[in-house]
Structure 1
Amino acid sequence: MTWETVAGVIGGLLLVYAALLVLLRGYARRHPETVTMKDALRLLPDLLRLIRRLIADRTVAAGVRIRLALLLAYLLSPIDLVPDFVPVIGYADDVVIVALVLRSVVARAGESAVARHWPGTPEGLGLILKLAGLGAAR
């Protein structure tokens, strides 16, 4: 592999990363009401317990459990798509990734599985379901 190929691949990856940053910044500015930092920090312990419980539930499809395990690894990893100290979009990438995974989990495992394993308050569950794209918080 020549250095031009390596430079092209690295340049392409940097271009995709820059586009992702621009898209995340735009999303965070257009939707500041989705989940506030205060809400996200308050929900984090319950969300981590929910993920752990869904992974342990053998009635949930294996593909869903794998997605949740990868999400858990991403959330616990010190490596992030966008460093958390970057204003506005630092945490937006985490919220977007959690929302995408939750949408796929709810679509595949069902809202009832999420509700059955939710360890927090009904308001917190409503916010999680809102984040998963199921309309207004309950």
Structure 2
Amino acid sequence: MTDLSARASSPAVEKAISALPNLVKLGYRLMRDPRVPVKHKAFLGGSLAYLASPVDLIPDFIPFLGRADDLLMLAFALNAMFEAAGEAIVHEHWDGTGDVLEIVAGVVEWGASLVPWPVRRAVKRYLRGF
């Protein structure tokens, strides 16, 4: 087994992959929840559209960086939605175990922190309503 395949089969990676269906359901349920602000839903929807769009700030054919901008914006949008919804609502909609949600939320928060500060500031200003 190569080093890469050993890492890909690690328990942490397996947990992260197994959390994806629950994360998709969580995002869907938060989008439908009337307690979550509409602007946060629009930001997540826009981030998903950006992820699917062939137009990128950093073209996808550039190794690593091409997908990183897409994933960081998605993490930033999810983190903003988690914060806006609040812990109780997020837990209400989560199907998995609490420890996995904690890991997912930590990864999402870390990814959001990698978005450049001027972008974060502009988006937060928009979400607050200036």
Same fold per superposition (TM over 0.5)? yes
Gaps of 5+ in 1: 1-35
Query: What secondary structure does 1:133 align onto?
Result: helix
> Which residues of 2 match residues 1-138 of structure 1 at below 5 A?
41-133=17-109
Change in Cα spacing, 1:78 to 1:118, as seen in structure 2 (3 Å) is farther
> Which has more helix, going by share of residues?
2
Q: Which amino acid aligns with 2:66?
A: G
User: How many angstroms apart in 2 are the aligned matches of 1:128 and 1:119?
Assistant: 13
Normalising by structure 1, we get a TM-score of: 0.53
Matched to 1:46, the amino acid is N
**SS state at 1:86 partner:** coil
Aligned pair in 2 of structure 1 residues 129, 81: CA closer, same or farther (>3 Å)? same
TM-score under structure 2 length normalisation: 0.56
Aligned length in residues: 99
Query: Contact 1:64–1:109 (CA<8 Å) still a contact in 2?
Result: no
Q: CA RMSD in A?
A: 3.1
- Structure-2 separation of matches of 1:39 and 1:90: 25
Preserved contact between residue 51 and residue 71 of structure 2 (Cα < 8 Å): no
Aligned equivalents of 1:115 and 1:100: distance in 2? 19
1-structure distance, mates of 2:26, 2:108 = 14
Taking only the aligned residue pairs, the percentage that are identical comes to: 37
Structure 1 stretch displaced more, 77-86 or 122-131? 77-86
Q: Which has the larger radius of gyration?
A: 1
Q: Does the 8 Å CA contact 2:16/2:104 hold for their aligned counterparts?
A: no
SS where residue 107 of structure 1 aligns?
helix
Q: Which letter maps to 1:122?
A: G
One-letter amino acid of the structure 2 residue matched with residue 112 of structure 1: A
1 CA distance for matches of 2:61 and 2:99? 28
